[in-house]
Structure 1
Amino acid sequence: MTINHTKTVEMQDCTSSAAVPFPPTLPRSSSPPSGSVGQAAQVRSAAYRLYMLARLKSLGTPTDELKGIYITFILPRLMYTSPVWSFSLTYTQQQQLEDVQKRACKIILGPDYTNYDHALTILSLPRLAAIHREAPVKLARGLLRHPRLRHLLLPNAPNQPTP
C-alpha cells in the first residue's frame, strides 16, 4: 500500500499519562481524535445497507439467511474500528448505532418482531454496546499473543493475557 503523505496525518490516541514513542513518519494532527465523525459515517453506511436487507426480505429470503446477510454485510460496518473509538462514544452515538441494529431486527423478523430485547434473543445477537466494550480487550489480547506486535503496548503490560 502506498501512503499519500500529503493527505495522511498521524493521530495518537492513548489514555496513558506516559508518552508512547512512535516513529515520526507522518505529520501529526493537532486536533484530538474523535469517534463522532467516523461513527456518523458508519451509521450512514450501515443504514444504507438496510435497504438491501429489506429488499431481500420482500423477495422471500428466509430469516436465517437474512441474519447471515446482516452479520456479514451490515454488522461489520457498525463495528469498524470499534477498538479505537468505542470508549469515547456518547450515549446518543451508541444509541444511533444500536438503532441500526434494531431496524435490522425489525426487517429480519417482520411481523414476528415484538421488541428489541426479544428480537436479540430470537436472533442470538448481542447488544452492540456489549461488543464495543469487549473490542478493546480483544485487541489487547491479540497484541499480547503476537511477539511482533507486543511493542505497541506499554512496556509494563503483562506478558500473557489473563483469561
Structure 2
Amino acid sequence: MINDVKPVTENSHWKYVDDFNLGEIRLISTPSSLQRDLNHLDNWATENHMLLNPKKCMAMHFSFVRAPIQPPVLTLAGQTLKTTTQARLLGLHIRSNLKWDDQVDVMVSKSSKRLVVISRLRRSGVPIADLNTIYCGYIRPLLEYAAPCWASALTQRQSAALERVQRRACRLMMGRQFVSYTAALQHIGLERLSTRRQKLCTDFALRVERSPRFSTWLPPTRGQQHGRQLRNSARYQQPTGTNRYLTSAIPAMIKSLNEL
C-alpha cells in the first residue's frame, strides 16, 4: 500500500513493509527540507484514505559539530514529532551518537536468556554435538544480527561482552570437561565471534561489490577513475576522515575489499 509514496525533495527514503523512513544530509547553513516531505506524506495519506499516527513517529538528529545547533521542529498531521536519541529500526538499535552500546546490550541480554536451554539439555544428557547445533542455530544468530552495520565500530569492551556469552555457552556445553575457552572452541568446533564477524563483514562486502543494485554504495575503483589497468586497478581509494567515519560500515567494507 505504500509502494507509491516517496519524498518530493532529493532526500533519501527507505521502506520495508509498513515501515517508512526519511533521511536528509545537510550543511548547518542549509535549511532543512524534511518538513516539506512530511507535508507531502500527510497529503498522500489523506488522498489514499489512510490515517497516520504521529505518536509512533520520531525524529532523530545526528550532529557532531563543536557548537551544538538547535534541530528543526518537525510536525506531522498537525502534531510535533518527538525528538529521540535512540531508535529501533528493523531490530537494529541506533543512537544519535552512532555508538552501539544499546545494540550490544540487547544482543547480550537476549542471548544470555536463551543459554538456559543449553543448561537444561546438558543436564538431560544431550550430546555436545547436538548442543552445539542448538547454540549455532538458536543463540549465536542473536549475537551476529546485522553485524556488517556495527561490527567495525565495536569497542574492545563491547567485543569482550559478546565473546563472554559464547564462553558461557562453551562452559555449559562441556560441563566439567571445560578447561579453557580456546581449548573448548577447538573441541566443539567453533570460532571466536570476532573472527566470525570479520568473515561475515567481508562476505557481505563482496556481495555488495557484485550486486548490480548495491555496488553504487562503493566508490569507483582506481582503474575506473584513471582508465588504466595497473596492478592496483581493482582497489578502491581508501576514505579519509575521523575515526568515527572510518570505522563505520562503508569505509570498513572498502578496507576489507582492499585487503583481500
TM-score by length of 2: 0.51
- Are 1:43 and 1:78, in contact at CA under 8 Å, matched by a contact in 2? yes
Deviations 1:12-52 (A, max 9, x none): 9xxxxxxxxxxx88966322322111011001011011011
Deviations 1:36-92 (A, max 9, x none): 110110010110110111111112211110000000011111111211111111111
Q: Which residue number in structure 2 is paired with residue 105 of structure 1?
A: 170
Which of 14, 18, 25 matches 1:2?
18
Q: Secondary structure at the match of 1:133?
A: helix
Q: Which has the higher relative contact order, 1 or 2, with Cα contacts under 8 A spaced 6 or more apart?
A: 1
Alignment of 1:29 onto 2:61:
yes
TM-score by length of 1: 0.79
**More helix, by proportion:** 1
Where do 1:1-163 residues align within 5 Å?
1-3=17-19, 5=20, 10=23, 29-30=61-62, 31-156=96-221, 158=234
- Identity over the aligned pairs, expressed in percent? 28
State which structure, 1 or 2, has the greater radius of gyration over its C-alpha atoms. Answer: 2
Work out the CA distance in 2 between the residues paired with 1:105 and 1:111: 11
1:95 Cα shift? 0.8
Work out the CA distance in 2 between the residues paired with 1:152 and 1:134: 19
User: Aligned pair in 2 of structure 1 residues 84, 11: CA closer, same or farther (>3 Å)?
Assistant: farther
Deviations 1:105-136 (A, max 9, x none): 01111111111000000011111111222332
Query: Residue 97 of structure 2 aligns to which amino acid in structure 1?
Result: P
Work out the CA distance in 1 between the residues paired with 2:123 and 2:24: 44
Q: Give the gaps of 5 or more residues in structure 2.
A: 1-16, 26-33, 39-58, 63-95, 223-233, 236-256
* Number of corresponding residues: 149
Work out the CA distance in 2 between the residues paired with 1:35 and 1:9: 21
Work out the CA distance in 2 between the residues paired with 1:108 and 1:11: 48
